[in-house]
Amino acid sequence: LSPGAKMGCFTFIKVMMILFNLAIFLGGGTLLGVGIWVAVDGKSFLDIFGALSSSVLQVVNVSYFLIVIGAILLVIGFLGCCGAQKESKCLLMLFFTMVLIIFIAEVAAAVVALVYTGLAEVLLRGVVTPLLKEKFGNDEPFTQIWNVTMGEIGCCGLNNYTDLTDSPWYNSHNHTYPAPCCKDAKPCGDGMAISCSHSHLPGYLLQGCFKQILEDIKTNSGVVGGVAAGIAALEIAAMVVSMYLYCQLDHK
């Protein structure tokens, strides 16, 4: 290629890099804003998006998850955009390194999910069950999300209703469970829960949410896999482009 053609190619890729990372930056800012909204006023968020709440995000604190992801995307978008705009080798290398670390972490997580599914389930149970006992009834966004989840899926707790025993909700509501655990029957106390656990009455929901959440994940595994593959392809493309710009700066 002639020097002019090479320069034109460099400029085109530079502009694409800037626009791509500007989109990442704006997306990160949006996720960060939504995460802060959920943390500050989770009830109004659920009033709007409650119908969409049956997903794996219900087993973690959604606000913290969104804030962390949003902050990471903000940093990546800033590094990529400024690195390309200012033609800074340092910023481009930082961008490449961050994307590479995230890519490796995603591949490792996928391998663990595929090879050690049982271990992942044990870890999930080990993390979420203590969270329910500690935060349910104490952390309003967390409590709202789980109440909506239990009502929509038709379940109680992660493993069963005993996950909520001795939780802040249980202790502050005269040793009763939330209404979804007894299909809105009140009071939903220990006596009712124990008697129903040995029966097959259709009016009471005592199974845990874990199996249903796993079923939802398996049902949508194709979509999740497609999205993950698309993200991985974008990350590889971003690393290739950043390295191209980095190397071309030596020839300018």
Residue 181 lies in a domain: yes
Contact of 164 with 181, CB cutoff 8 Å: yes
Q: Which residue has the higher pLDDT, 44 or 50?
A: 44
Q: What is the pLDDT of residue 151?
A: 79
Same structural domain for residues 54 and 134?
A: no
Alpha-carbon distance values, 10 to 17, 83, 174, 246, 247 (Å)? 10, 14, 69, 11, 11
| Average pLDDT rounded to a whole number, residues 133-144 | 82
Burial bucket for residue 216 (CB in 10 Å: 0-12, 13-18, 19+): middle
Same structural domain for residues 127 and 80?
A: no
141-163: b or e for each residue (b if 16 or more CB lie within 10 Å)?
bbbbbbbbbbbbbebbbbbbbbb
Q: Which residue has the higher pLDDT, 160 or 221?
A: 160
Residue 106 lies in a domain: no
Q: Is 87 left (phi over 0), alpha (psi -120 to 50) or beta?
A: left
Rounded Cα–Cα distance for residues 87 and 27 (Å): 23
Confidence of residue 97 (pLDDT cuts 50, 70, 90): very high
Same structural domain for residues 175 and 221?
A: yes
Q: Over the stretch 185-209, which tens digit does the pLDDT of each residue have?
A: 677 776 655 555 444 444 444 578 8
Q: Is the pLDDT of residue 38 over 50?
A: yes
DSSP string, 214-238: HHHHHHTHHHHHHHHHHHHHHHHHH
Residue 100 lies in a domain: no
Same structural domain for residues 55 and 155?
A: no
Q: Over the stretch 162-187, which tens digit does the pLDDT of each residue have?
A: 888 889 988 888 888 887 787 766 77
Structural domain for 166, as ranges: 119-251
Q: Is the pLDDT of residue 152 over 70?
A: yes
Contact of 175 with 74, CB cutoff 8 Å: no
DSSP string, 189-216: BHHHHHHHHTS--TT---B-SHHHHHHH
In the listed set 65, 86, 107, which residue is the last one of a domain according to the structure? 86
In the listed set 32, 64, 86, which residue is the last one of a domain according to the structure? 86
In the listed set 61, 86, 111, which residue is the last one of a domain according to the structure? 86
Share of the chain above pLDDT 70, in %: 75
CATH classification of the domain holding 140 = 1.10.1450.10
The total of structural domains in the chain comes to 2
Q: Select the highest-mean-pLDDT range: 71-85, 143-157, 172-186.
A: 71-85
Rounded Cα–Cα distance for residues 177 and 191 (Å): 11
Same structural domain for residues 64 and 173?
A: no
Residue 91 lies in a domain: no
Q: 3-class DSSP state for residue 160?
A: strand
Rounded Cα–Cα distance for residues 89 and 121 (Å): 43
Q: Is 183 left (phi over 0), alpha (psi -120 to 50) or beta?
A: left
Same structural domain for residues 79 and 125?
A: no
Q: What is the pLDDT of residue 144?
A: 77
Residue 98 lies in a domain: no
Same structural domain for residues 137 and 73?
A: no
Rounded Cα–Cα distance for residues 201 and 195 (Å): 10
Residue 180 lies in a domain: yes
Residue 69 lies in a domain: yes
Give the H/E segment covering residue 31.
helix 3-40
Same structural domain for residues 61 and 132?
A: no
Average pLDDT over the chain, rounded to an integer? 77
Same structural domain for residues 52 and 142?
A: no
Of 83-92, 141-150, 216-225, the poorest mean pLDDT is in 216-225
pTM of this structure: 0.61
Q: What is the pLDDT of residue 56?
A: 41
Confidence of residue 93 (pLDDT cuts 50, 70, 90): very high
| Average pLDDT rounded to a whole number, residues 11-15 | 87
Residue 46 lies in a domain: yes
